[in-house]
């Protein structure tokens, strides 16, 4: 069983490998993602991320069980992306971990 710290460090290493940025910067981004996911487990959170085409997307996302229902994924968690349930689109979405801009 992985601890939350090992998940954060795996994500930071993945961001560093993908972007080539300093590990300290990638670690800060990984901790931001950890806090985002923790807040989404408790309720709906507004956040912004950069899309692949370069535009900024503002999203209201959640990971609350009452919205997810009986969803059971067959895939392993991917440290490259952050998955969430979009409250505006009413569908699952994801974005690249290094593209998180801000949590509101």
Condensed to tens digits (0 to 9), the pLDDT of residues 3-15 reads 889 999 999 999 9
Quick one: pLDDT at residue 70? 65
Quick one: pLDDT at residue 22? 97
Our CA dihedral for 43, 56, 71, 29, rounded to 10 degrees, sits at: -70
Task: Please give the C-alpha separations between residue 33 and each of 14, 37, 46, 62, 74, in angstroms, as whole numbers.
Answer: 13, 6, 13, 13, 22
User: 């795996």: which residue's tokens?
Assistant: 10
Checking if the pLDDT of 73 tops 70, the result is no
The pTM score is 0.88
Percent of the chain clearing pLDDT 70 (strictly above): 93
**Residue 74 banded pLDDT, cuts 50, 70, 90:** low
């Amino acid at each position: 069983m992985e601890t939350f710290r090992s998940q954060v460090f795996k994500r930071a290493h993945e961001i560093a490998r993908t972007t080539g940025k300093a590990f300290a910067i990638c670690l800060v981004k990984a901790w931001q993602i950890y806090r985002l996911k923790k807040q989404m487990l408790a309720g709906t959170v507004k956040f912004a991320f950069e899309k692949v085409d370069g535009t900024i997307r503002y999203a209201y996302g959640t990971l609350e069980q009452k919205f997810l229902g009986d969803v059971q994924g067959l895939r392993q968690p991917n440290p490259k992306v952050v998955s969430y349930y979009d409250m505006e689109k009413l569908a699952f979405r994801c974005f690249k971990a290094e593209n998180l801009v801000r949590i509101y």
